Every structure is written in structure tokens, then in C-alpha cells.
A and B are shown apart, each in its own frame.
Chain A
Amino acid sequence: MIEVKDLHKQYGDIVALDKVSLTVGRGELFGLIGPDGAGKTSLMRILMSLLLPDGGTATMNELDVVKDYKEVRLITGYMPGRFSLYPDLTVEENLKFFATVFGTTIQENYYLIKDIYQQIEPFKNRRAGKLSGGMKQKLALSCALIHKPEILILDEPTTGVDAVSRKEFWEMLKRLKSMGITILVSTPYMDEASMCDRIALIQQGRLMSVATPHEMIESFPEDLWAVHTRKIYETSKHLEKLSSTLSVNSFGQVLHLVTSKGVHSAESIQKYLLEKGELEITIEPSSATIEDVFILLMNHHKHLK
């Protein structure tokens, strides 16, 4: 279990974490979602006892990350943001090294990493620097798991990895979760949110929202329309001028139009666009994605400032 209370971190004038409070339950797969510079890495480094907070407290399975940092380091597995293994050591040597550092052996906890490690075992004599992105990530996860941690902290493990490997990676996390490991994972990809039990949307050092992905989508407070058009750019310009429009954003070839709750119907928007000379357009009410939620909250916070 991870408990974070009023955590504050500042680098000079820049506030990296602004009174962040958060609880991750035992055996929960918790996602920290936000862009670069939102404070994800700072939060994880504080939890790993690699950074000291400027204020507030954080505990990992009741251990204080400042006072009991030695114990914290024993019970947690960590994958930092960038590839952090020895590129000149082979796959097996890397794993063996980290096992020994944590006072264990590959054999002892093999069952835990078996599913993951088996996929890279054919390459165990290859230098880690020569692995593909997906394989590197699997090796890094194996290394973080080898001492059978109670908590896993993964900082953007899927960034820069191909879509297939990303998918496989989330499957692995689900299996680890089912073994009772608490997992805190960060990602800049909003579409990965649905893989988590609960998520926190983080932006500029503040948690904008914490809930299950489902709740977040369900509680979207405004109306959202999917607008299919051939001329995305023009249509979005027109829609921005529609009364009570909160935002227009492209999602691939579809426009997501957000309007204040209960003001418009698909027909009224269609009519508006017809007046503007837009003919080939279909509009349907749509449910929000996490990205829609994120954008709405970002705009909301901007207005507050």
C-alpha cells in the first residue's frame, strides 16, 4: 500500500509536486497519467527514496520513505524512466547482477519472472544494449522483479515501445497484480488508462482527478459529440464559434466537440453547420475517452488560474 499525503517538491521556482495526496491499495494496479514535466517522475523518485520531499509524507507498506528508506528499497522494485541496465552486460549477467545485489538468486524467484523472462531467455547471451525496445523493457521488468518486491514502481515503461510490446507489457502487469503485487505505473499515453484499476490524471504537479477509468468517463459532466467530417480543419473552426462550445479537438479523423450539458442536440449542431455550408457531416453523441477528460480538466484548471 502506498500512502502519499500533501507531498510537495520544488526545484528553484518550479513546483514539481503541489500538495499531492494519494492512496494506492494493496494489490492495486494504479496508473499515473500525464505529460512530461507533470511531476510523475518526481513523485516516483520520492517514493523510491531517491529524492527528498520538501513537504508532506509518503509511506510504502507503512514504511516512511525518508526515515525507513533502507527498508523501502528492499520491498520495492523500480524501473526508472529510461533504459537503465548495463548495455555491455548480457541479458543473463544483468539479471544475475541485480539478483545478487538484492541478496537473492534467479532460481529463488524464478516463478515470478518466468512468464516474462522466458520470452527473452533465447537471447540470454546477447548484450542488453543490442536488444529491441520491447525486449529491453521485459529485461528491465525482470530485473525489477527478481527480488520479489511487494511494490512495483514503473516510470513510463511503455514509452517508445512498439504497440504489440506495449500490449504484452500490460498483460504482464495484470498477472503480477493478481499475485498480490502493488503496482504504480506512469504513462503519457491516455489510451493505456483503461488497463489500470484506478488512475490519477496529473498535470503541472497537481492531481486533477483520481478515480477508476470507468468512473472518470461516466462522470464526464458535459455533452460530447463525435463529428465526422472530410474537412477537419474548417469544420473545427466553425464549431469553435458555436455557442456553448467548450472545446473542439481532433481524435484521428473524428472531431470531438464538447458543449455545455443539455444545450445542444445532434440536430441543432447539424443545422448550425449546414448554415455554414458544411454538408457531408455526421454527428452522434459519444462517450468520452480519458483524453477528453484530461483536456476538460486541463482547461478547467487553466481557467482557475
Chain B
Amino acid sequence: MITTEPVITVKNMVKKFGNFVANDNLNFEVYKGEIFGFIGANGAGKTTAIRILCGLSTPTSGEMKVGGFDIYRQTEKIKQNIGYMSQKFSLYEDLTINENIRFYGGIYGMKIADRKVRTEKMLERLELTEYRNRKIGDLPLGWKQKLAFSIAILHNPKIVFLDEPTGGVDPITRRQFWNLIYEAVEQGITVFVTTHYMDEAEYCDRVSIMAEGRIVALDTPERLKKQYSANNMDEVFLKIAR
């Protein structure tokens, strides 16, 4: 259910590393219940922006609110209300599925009964129940990614940030992954996702295209395609870049 109630507001976000401007005056809002996509090449500033919004990095300047909390003063509150899954796989390879879940449930202070119920549901959904005592390191990449996502939303956060969750994943798993995202949205979670895959851009409700630290376009895929009279997002991207 997409609303116009903003859960993330970003005003004039700037992040500099020395002379290098990673984020150059970003302005956008993410609405409650939508899938918001960040598209762009490596080094366009996507990961930097996500890290700031997750409270992992301090911006150089700008005003930002995530889930109604201020990015400078309420980072702890923000962290309680978001889930985060990074580009690199973020579970412990040497722990089992179960141990990883217990660990993450613990960090987010989930009630044990609550965690157990949700864990069962999640493992069943992923068809991983019988593998719960397997070490993460022994799982295929696609499984790991799906599991990492499910664990990132186990504590039912308001917003989940996904940094290139499907990089290098096979086409079937990629779609299964997106189905998981849709299911999360149905639960009322807002999804903020970055990707390289242009077809995935079309799965988003709104996309912002980033290049060299700036947002060069932001709209629904539908309207972007119309605006640039393109057949798909790939063409939109090429036309914007040229």
C-alpha cells in the first residue's frame, strides 16, 4: 500500500571524502510502503547514501530523517527501526542458520517467543527448515542472499535497506528474491534497494538514477520510460547518460 507519507526525507545531503564528493546535494523522499530503487554504476554514490541513512556514516551536511528520527541525533533509534543487508553477504559463515538467526534476534532485542514463531515461519517460507543446522558457508549464494534478506526483516523493521542484494545471482533466484521483497512490502515494510540490473529497476515503484554523486532522474519507471520515449530502463539510462 503506497502512501504519500514520507518515511525517509533527505534534504541537501552532501558527503565528501577529502576532495572527493560522493554525494552531491541529494534531495528526495521515500514514501511509506513503496519500493524505492537507487540505480547507478559502482562509485555513483549509492552505497555512501545508504550507509548515511542507516546511521553507519555521518554526512558532511544536510538534513535527513529516517522513520521520523533525526540522522545526527537519533541514530540508535534509527537502527532499531531499520533492517540492512549489504552488498557483501552479511551473515556469519561459520555459524549455522539457527545461530545466525538467534544472534540477529538478540541484537535487535526480539522477544524469544516472538523470534521463535517468526523463525519457523521464515524457514518454512524459504524451504530451509531441514537445513537449519547447516553452516551458512555451506549454502549456495542464492540461498544465502534470500536468508540474509529474511533475517534483515525478522524484527519487522519500518524500512529495509538492500545494497545490491542480487548481484551475481542466477535469474531464477533473482526473481525469487524479488518475490520476497514484494511479500515484505505487503507486510508494510518500506524497501530501499540499489541494483545494477536495469530490469530490476522496473520492479520498483519509483527509481532514482544516480551518476557521479548526483540524482539525475527520479520518477516511476513508467513515467521515466515515457519521458525519454524508451522501451525499457536500460534505454532510459543510456539516454540520460548521453
The answer on direct contact between A and B (beta carbons under 8 Å) is yes
Chain A: residues with CB nearer than 8 A to chain B? 34-38, 130, 132-134, 159-165, 167, 188-191, 203, 233, 249-253, 291, 294-295, 298-299
B41 touches A161 (CB 8 A): yes
Are A162 and B168 CB-contacts (below 8 A) given A191-B234, A252-B233?
A: no
Give me 18 other A-B pairs in contact (C-beta within 8 A), A162-B41, A162-B237, A250-B178 excluded. Answer: A36-B167, A36-B168, A130-B20, A160-B196, A162-B40, A163-B41, A163-B234, A163-B238, A163-B241, A164-B241, A165-B41, A190-B171, A191-B198, A251-B199, A252-B199, A252-B221, A253-B222, A298-B171
| Complex contacts, B141 vs chain A, CB 8 Å | 35-37
A160 touches B168 (CB 8 A): no
| Complex contacts, A134 vs chain B, CB 8 Å | 41
List the A residue with the shortest CB-CB distance to B203: A250
- The 7 A-B pairs at the shortest CB distance, nearest first, are namely A162-B41, A36-B168, A252-B202, A35-B170, A160-B42, A164-B241, A163-B237
Minimum CB–CB distance for B202 against chain A, Å: 3
> In the bound complex, how far is the Cα of B141 from the Cα of A34, in angstroms?
13
| Complex contacts, B173 vs chain A, CB 8 Å | 35
Interface pairs (19), CB distance under 8 Å: A34-B170, A35-B142, A35-B168, A35-B170, A35-B171, A36-B141, A132-B41, A133-B41, A159-B167, A159-B196, A160-B41, A162-B241, A190-B171, A249-B175, A250-B175, A250-B178, A251-B199, A252-B201, A295-B171
A188 touches which of B168, B178, B211 (Cβ 8 Å): B168
List the B residue with the shortest CB-CB distance to A162: B41
Bin the interface of chain B by size. 35 or more
List the B residue with the shortest CB-CB distance to A291: B171
> In the bound complex, how far is the Cα of B199 from the Cα of A167, in angstroms?
16
Instruction: Say yes or no for B232: interface residue by CB 8 A criterion.
Output: yes
Instruction: Say yes or no for B169: interface residue by CB 8 A criterion.
Output: yes
B168 touches A159 (CB 8 A): yes
B169 touches A35 (CB 8 A): yes
| Complex contacts, A253 vs chain B, CB 8 Å | 202, 221-222
List the A residue with the shortest CB-CB distance to B221: A253
List the A residue with the shortest CB-CB distance to B210: A162
Instruction: Say yes or no for B217: interface residue by CB 8 A criterion.
Output: no
A233 touches B182 (CB 8 A): yes
> In the bound complex, how far is the Cα of B26 from the Cα of A252, in angstroms?
26
Minimum CB–CB distance for B236 against chain A, Å: 9
| Complex contacts, A163 vs chain B, CB 8 Å | 41, 198, 234, 237-238, 241
A161 touches B42 (CB 8 A): yes
B172 touches A299 (CB 8 A): yes
Instruction: Say yes or no for B242: interface residue by CB 8 A criterion.
Output: yes
Question: Most A CB atoms within 10 A — which of B43, B167, B211?
Answer: B43
| Complex contacts, A203 vs chain B, CB 8 Å | 170
List the A residue with the shortest CB-CB distance to B44: A162
| Complex contacts, A37 vs chain B, CB 8 Å | 140-141, 168
> In the bound complex, how far is the Cα of B169 from the Cα of A189, in angstroms?
10
> In the bound complex, how far is the Cα of B237 from the Cα of A280, in angstroms?
29
| Complex contacts, B212 vs chain A, CB 8 Å | 132
> In the bound complex, how far is the Cα of B142 from the Cα of A203, in angstroms?
12
> In the bound complex, how far is the Cα of B232 from the Cα of A133, in angstroms?
23
A252 touches B140 (CB 8 A): no
Minimum CB–CB distance for A65 against chain B, Å: 26
